[in-house]
Every structure is written in C-alpha cells, then in structure tokens.
Structure 1
Amino acid sequence: MTTVEIEYCVPCGFLDRAEAIQHQILQQFGERLDSVALVTGDHGVLQVRVDGDVVWDKTDDEYDLDEITRRVRKHV
C-alpha cells in the first residue's frame, strides 16, 4: 500500500492548507492508503510526498487541490 506525507511550515500558518490536502486525499483514496501523515516543517515548506517521492511542492506548483489529487492518484 501507499504512504502519503504532507510537510507544512508551522510558522507560516500552512496547517489549514495541509489539512485540506489531507482531507481530500483521504476522501479519494482512504481505503487504498496506509497513511496520510502531516509532518511539521519550517522555511515556507508545503510539500506532498508519496512513498518518499515529491509529487507536489508549493515552490514549483500552484496550490490546486484537484491537481494535487491527480498527482497522488498516479501513485495509488
């Protein structure tokens, strides 16, 4: 099965976005995943990893829940 990690910057206040990503991923793929973990970070990070591979990073990509879900789907 698959593990998803959402690393988010605590000082930046990205918890709400990280939770929204987590919620969407769990709704779409919940029964097919081992876990969807929130990982605290800093320095402006907001990143989604599937089995250790970065599939979405806010420094490179626009925040779009549907796009993030599509990228995760490729690995599930």
Structure 2
Amino acid sequence: MMNPAPALPRLAIHYCTGCRWLMRAAWMAQELLTTFEKELGEVALVPGHGGVFRILCDDELLWDRKIDGGFPDIKALKQRVRDRIAPGKALGHSETAAH
C-alpha cells in the first residue's frame, strides 16, 4: 500500500461582503493559484463582514488589513506566501526590485 502524498497548503482569503471586496479577493486568489500552481492545494474565498480582509495559510496569519495597514501589494503577498510554502521558489519578475 502506498503512502498518501502530504496535503498541500490551503490558503483562505477572508473578505468583507459589505465592503464589496469579493473581486479583490478573487483576483488575489487567481494570482496566487497561477504563481503557486504546484505548491497550493486550495485557495478558499471566505465571506465575512466588519471590514475584514485577512489571508491565512493553514490557519497561520499571513496578512490582515487592520494589522498590516491596508491591502497587500500582490508582489509582497506572493513573497509572504512563497516564504511560508516554498522558500526555495524563485518568483521571477515579482522579486525584481523596482527601478
């Protein structure tokens, strides 16, 4: 009997429905699934309220709008996700310093 493959990480993007942040959350989910297509098992969009915009990886907080002061730049978010799930992965243009 073969051992099952280890479960890939799960990201959850909690967003405020009253603030109409679904499109922002969905775009970030798309970007992350495209960049980490082999490293992620799932990206869930989790509706909430009260101005929430929070991103967790396997229940570990990666970004919170209220703590981190706004929404993540996609480059910064990809770096945080990479550092958590695939530290050796190169991000190409997402790592290049702005000129």
The structure with the largest alpha-carbon Rg is 2
CA distance in 1, matches of 2:38, 2:31: 13
- Give 5+ residue unaligned stretches, structure 2: 1-7, 86-99
TM-score (norm 1): 0.92
Query: Which one is further off, 60-69 or 8-17?
Result: 60-69
Q: How far apart, CA to CA, are the structure 2 residues paired with 1:57 and 1:68? A: 11
Equivalenced residues, count: 76
Superposed CA RMSD: 1.0
The percent of aligned pairs where both chains have the same amino acid is: 33
- TM-score, normalised with respect to structure 2: 0.72
Q: Which has the higher contact order (CA 8 A, sep 6+)?
A: 1
Q: Which residue of the partner structure matches residue 92 of structure 2? A: none
- Which of the numbers 1, 18, 27 marks the counterpart of 2:25? 18
Alignment of 1:13-52 (within 5 A): 13-52=20-59
**Partner Cα distance (1:49, 1:4) in 2:** 6
C-alpha distance in 2 between matches for 1:41 and 1:71:
23
Displaced runs of 4+ in structure 1, greater than 3 A?
none
Higher strand fraction: Structure 1 or Structure 2?
1
Q: Gaps spanning 5+ residues in structure 1: where?
A: none
Correspondences of 1:49-64 after superposition (within 5 Å): 49-61=56-68, 62-63=70-71, 64=73
